[in-house]
Amino acid sequence: MGIVRRTKSLDLLMSQFADSHDAISAVALIESLKKDVNKTTVYRLLDRLEDDGVLHSFMSSDGIKWYAKCKGCSSSGHADVHPHFQCTDCGKVDCLDLEVTIPSIPGRKINSSQILIQGTCDNCLN
Amino acid sequence: MGIVRRTKSLDLLMSQFADSHDAISAVALIESLKKDVNKTTVYRLLDRLEDDGVLHSFMSSDGIKWYAKCKGCSSSGHADVHPHFQCTDCGKVDCLDLEVTIPSIPGRKINSSQILIQGTCDNCLN
DNA sequence: GCTATATTTGCAACACAGTTGCAATAAGAG
DNA sequence: CTCTTATTGCAACTGTGTTGCAAATATAGC
Ligand SMILES: [Mn+2]
Ligand SMILES: [Mn+2]
Ligand SMILES: [Zn+2]
Ligand SMILES: [Zn+2]
């Protein structure tokens, strides 16, 4: 169930991701679009965009969902796997272009892994 | 705000963690204790036990909170940092005794990291 | 451009994990 | 045993996300 029609809501939502590669929380998206787009629509668009490989999502440790643009993913799968970094000072969350190797675990089959790193971003360090 | 008094609720809760080192979700704890302990009490005990370094917690990707026993932690800090593994077949979640190295990131200070690995557990593989 | 149709949307109501205020209960120090 | 204070249960609440359904609208075909 991906995106079929190019709607105003879709353009408004995607424009939120236009300027940067930072992640944006569903809650923040709903807040900044609330004049124009119903929250149900925001959630539904996010779901479909994730299905399409346009956005990917992850949970922060406080249980809220974040979205960011994919690079090189498609509806057949998310190939763009990477850790995420949350600044505990300013709250900004972004995707890290970083390879973290998960050692294989005897007797278990690993399908995916999510890494959330917390700390202070370069903006907040200075 | 840690645990001060040895209560019946506390014993009942801790007995859930007695037999294994698997993680247990807050939701599952509330369910299995519901005859004897109010859910508010369960949440409050879990908070305090985490403060005391007796339990540690983490979120699974569906946004629910899990708890497991600590090894060598105290109220002054959680030292026992490790990845968690969730079996997508049977739902079991456990702590991995495994060191994963997070490379340092230029311009950022890392304080903590959470790693959640998903796959199939040894029980479900056979 | 118009029409038909399937997709998308908004709304209200809901689900569900977790929290809060407060009065009642009970641990345990003395 | 008594008193103080931590703990508990309850009911009501918060916040994120979901669902059913009727109304709106994108767009393919003409
Ligand atoms: Mn990302
Ligand atoms: Mn653990
Ligand atoms: Zn920052
Ligand atoms: Zn399993």
Of A101, A83, A106, A111, residue with least CA distance to B117: A111
Indicate which of B117, B120, B125 best probes the interface with A, i.e. most A CBs within 10 Å of its own CB.
Answer: B117
Residues 6 or more apart whose CB falls under 8 angstroms from that of B93 comprise B22, B23, B25, B60, B66, B84, B85, B86, B87
Residue B1: is its pLDDT beyond 80? Answer: no
CA of B112: which chain A residue's CA is closest? A118
How many Å lie between the centroid of ligand 2 and the Cα of residue A44? 33
**Residue A115 · residue B114 · CB < 8 Å:** yes
Structural tokens at position A101: 């190797």
Give the pLDDT confidence score for residue A20 in this predicted structure: 83
Q: Report which residue type is found at A79.
A: A
Nearest protein residue to nucleotide D16 (CA to C1' distance) is: A64
Question: Cα separations (Å) of A20 from A13, A23, A95, B68, B109?
Answer: 14, 8, 11, 38, 21
Domain assignments of chain B as residue spans, ordered by start: 8-125
How many Å lie between the centroid of ligand 2 and the Cα of residue B83? 7
Indicate which of B22, B27, B58, B59 best probes the interface with A, i.e. most A CBs within 10 Å of its own CB.
Answer: B59
A26 touches chain B (CB under 8 A): no
Q: Which helix (H) or strand (E) holds B59?
A: strand B55-59
**What is the DSSP secondary-structure string of A89-116?**
TT--EEE-----PPPP-TT-EEEEEEEE
- Give the closest nucleotide to A65 (alpha carbon vs C1'): D16
Q: What does pTM read for this prediction?
A: 0.93
The CATH number fitting domain A8-125, selected from 1.10.10.410, 3.40.50.970, 3.40.50.1370, 1.10.10.10: 1.10.10.10
- φ, ψ of residue A19 to 5 degrees: the values are -80, -25
Cα separation of B14 and B18, whole Å?
7
**Residue B28 · residue B67 · CB < 8 Å:** no
Residue A79 or residue B24, greater confidence: B24
Give the pLDDT confidence score for residue A91 in this predicted structure: 92
pLDDT-based confidence at residue A126 (cuts at 50, 70, 90): confident
